[in-house]
Amino acid sequence: MKERTKFVLAAALVMGLCGTSFGHAPPGELYFAVQFPDNLVPTMDGDLSDWDVVPIDPYTIRNDRLYSPVADIQPVGRGEIDVSDINIRHLIGWNDNANKLYYMTEVFDNVHNLDRENPSAFWQDDAWEVEVNPDHTPTEEHNLEGEPANNFSYKWAVPPVEGAYQFYRPVRALEWFVDGSDFITFGWGYDGEQFGESTYYYELAITPIISMPNDESATPEQAVIFDLAEDEIIHTSVTVGDFDEPCTECALESYQGFWTMSPESCCTATNDVLLDQLLPEMESATAVEDVSWGQIKAAQ
């Protein structure tokens, strides 16, 4: 425990430096991605019970951390969410051997709106958006004109409309960069009324990419993979867009709510997230299973 305390302090000092430059927001705040041992890696099936092993602190990101960055939508301060309108919980994790980042979000919403006529217009319906910039580049240097892409957006609106539910930016139509590929696995589910008061569950696993060509010619071989490692700090942010009523002439104000981890905006990864060491609790979850397996063997 002492080791861990010391480590968090060290990380805070690193953050102190990070926070003085632009494009790391909110400055001075560190978020934590839980390290999953191999035997506890979650399955991307929309059932979030495989995340129950994760300790609440310091990993859980709740309403009190979230921003409403667009005043035209809701001019409220950080954490000022009306939980009868929307109630959000995020967790982020990672696994070393799989070299994957994992995300889960639970969203209680008074109305799950999904009525877009254009199947691609995810921004007209309730949506979940995950931003990733693994090499921790300042926001001002994300996806610059003429440069390789270095901030990747994974956006989702479910259930699918005419098969459309997955949307990527800045490169949006690569056959090899889709759900079910080596790079992306997504799952979702819900309880309650599918298009009414409900709780939706989202799960995403991605292989983190540092950069790739920012056009339709990009090949999997050109994707430079980020090697996840303990104590690294990456940038990642998660956004929940809330519509409770249909819109035809949809504008920003048509959103009921727009809740982001980043104070900057929706579409770029700015939160400093530490790839945490393997917690003793998570390790012992492994050990317990080994012991009981041994006992089963012994009993045979």
Using CB under 5 A as the criterion, which residues of the chain lie in contact with Zn ion when the complex forms?
Answer: 18, 24, 272
Residues 166, 171, 176, 177: is their CA dihedral positive or negative?
negative
| Residue 135 binds which entry of Zn ion, Ca ion, none, CB below 5-8 Å type-dependent | none
Q: By CB under 5 A, what part of segment 50-79 binds Ca ion?
A: 50
Query: Is there binding between residue 262 and Ca ion (CB under 5 A)?
Result: no
Q: By CB under 5 A, what part of segment 82-111 binds Ca ion?
A: 85-86, 109-111
Whether omega for the bond prior to residue 280 falls within 30 degrees of 0, making it cis, is no
Gap between the terminal Cα atoms of the chain: 38
Count the site residues for Ca ion by CB under 5 A: 19
Whether omega for the bond prior to residue 220 falls within 30 degrees of 0, making it cis, is no
Q: Which stretch binds Ca ion (CB under 5 A): 2-10, 164-172, 178-186, 244-252?
A: 244-252
Query: For residues 272 and 276, which CB has a smaller minimum distance to Zn ion in the complex?
Result: 272
Please report, for residues 59, 103, 118, 126, 247, the alpha-carbon distance to residue 162 in angstroms, rounded to integers and kept in the order given: 36, 25, 9, 16, 19
Query: Is there binding between residue 20 and Ca ion (CB under 5 A)?
Result: no
Please report, for residues 36, 51, 53, 278, 290, the alpha-carbon distance to residue 283 in angstroms, rounded to integers and kept in the order given: 9, 15, 11, 7, 11
Query: Is there binding between residue 244 and Ca ion (CB under 5 A)?
Result: yes
Residues 124, 70, 185, 283: is their CA dihedral positive or negative?
negative
| Residue 131 binds which entry of Zn ion, Ca ion, none, CB below 5-8 Å type-dependent | none
| Residue 276 binds which entry of Ca ion, Zn ion, none, CB below 5-8 Å type-dependent | none
Q: Smallest gap, in angstroms, from Cβ of residue 235 to Zn ion? A: 6
Query: For residues 61 and 282, which CB has a smaller minimum distance to Zn ion in the complex?
Result: 61
Q: Smallest gap, in angstroms, from Cβ of residue 33 to Zn ion? A: 14
Binding pattern to Ca ion, positions 118-157, x when CB under 5 A?
A: ------xxx-------------------------------
Q: How many CB atoms lie within 10 A of CB 286?
A: 14
| Residue 113 binds which entry of Zn ion, Ca ion, none, CB below 5-8 Å type-dependent | Ca ion
| CA pair distance 273, 261, nearest whole angstrom | 11
The residues pairing with 212 across neighbouring beta strands, listed in sequence order, are 149
| Residue 86 binds which entry of Zn ion, Ca ion, none, CB below 5-8 Å type-dependent | Ca ion
Residue that the structure tokens 């319906």 belong to: 125
Q: By CB under 5 A, name the binding residues for Ca ion.
A: 42-43, 45, 47, 50, 85-86, 109-111, 113, 115, 124-126, 242-244, 256
